[in-house]
Amino acid sequence: MNVPQHEPAQREWVHRLLDWKLVEARRERFPAIRRTFPLTLLRKHEERAPYYSHYMSWRLSTWRDEALLERLEELLLCAEALPNWKQEKASLVGSRDYSEFWSLVWQLQMAEYLSSVGSEVAWGSQKAPSPDLSAVVDGQRCFVECYVPRKSFGLLNYIEDVVSRVDESICVSYDSCLPFRLAGSSNVTDFIDQVLKQCLDPNRLAEAKGEAEEQYPVVLFKDEHSSLYVYVEGETGNKYMPGIVPNRVGCPERYLEVVLREALEAKRHSNGLRDHRPNLLAVSFLLSKDFQLAEALRGLPAMAQVDPDIGATIDTLAVSTTGINERLSKGKLKIVLDSSAANVGLKRIATRAAETAA
């Protein structure tokens, strides 16, 4: 294998942390995972920036809790039993993008849930544009488009994941409920390389941990183009110094309004939604800690007004933050926009946010 003269930090750390014997052993234990992710697919991304691994090979190697793999196996077995899975799978597993995993999981969760509340569940047809899933609910076929807003949160989650595998005292912080964009002045590969070189240099890390015994947090990296801080925590409470790492929070109401409208805008022209009615746009905000904070502080708003074109395309918007280790339920899929008052089937699938709060 030819190693670059100046090896990117992420390549070095990913190759050091990836245990291919464990990857192969876990693939053997879980047949549906093995069928979904052939070893040739996982291996072919070893030398491709910026992640130097497929999103599934990384998780097969680094997940400590095998219960998560058992849950993924269960979801994939359900998916395999539904029509059109082979075609749908191709669009979900080919990407090496670290955060693509959450798009896969969200569609699997929705497929499992629809199978529990409806009948004749099927993945979308590849012959013409169509939503990700459909099911017959209360005698009516309903269509579901799944979406996971990632933005910079997928990249942030990747950085958190890598540094935490090296040293659990390394923490990440940024301003919540405010505009946040990583790699603004460089490409993703260069940005990750810059962060990991500064945060995982053994000499600097040892020095920072020594400093943290006297005063912390000790900053390892500050992004001049965003509010991102990567730092080392100490262990003694009275050694904490406020103000070194800011802790700013924007307006939760405004944040929720913006991200919900962005989700509608992102999917307004997707997969022939206008021609498949009634339809539900199901959005997972699991990657966004900001969304979860804002919802906890203020609750979900009921969106009364949207762009007329969006209202003519999307019947219902429902959101969730359900993790892979949980089962999706009606109470965990909350309607924040419903422009189809007579749509009984969709109301069986999700519940109004206001009703959940009550």
Quote the pLDDT of residue 340.
58
Instruction: Give the pLDDT confidence score for residue 56 in this predicted structure.
Output: 97
pLDDT of residue 3: 40
User: pTM score, two decimals?
Assistant: 0.94
Tell me how crowded residue 264 is: count the other CB atoms within 10 A of its CB. 22
Low-confidence ranges of the chain (pLDDT < 70): 1-6, 185, 304-305, 340-344, 354-358
* Pairing mode, strands 140-147 and 170-173: unpaired
Packed helices 202-212 and 188-200: angle between N→C axes, nearest 10 degrees: 60
pLDDT reported for residue 249: 95
Instruction: Work out the burial of residue 263: count CB atoms within 10 Å of its CB; fewer than 13 is exposed, 13-18 middle, 19 or more buried.
Output: buried
- If one counts every other C-beta atom within 10 angstroms of the C-beta of residue 260, the result is 22
Q: Check if the beta carbon of residue 82 is closer than 8 Å to that of residue 120.
A: no
3-state secondary structure of 225: coil
Return the pLDDT at 128: 82
Q: Which residues contact 303 (CB under 8 A, 6 or more apart)?
A: 257, 260, 261, 317, 336, 337
pLDDT at 4: 44
User: Alpha-carbon dihedral of residues 90, 92, 96, 102, nearest 10 degrees?
Assistant: -170
Q: What's the confidence (pLDDT) of residue 110?
A: 98
What does the pLDDT read at residue 71?
98
Residue 185's pLDDT is 62
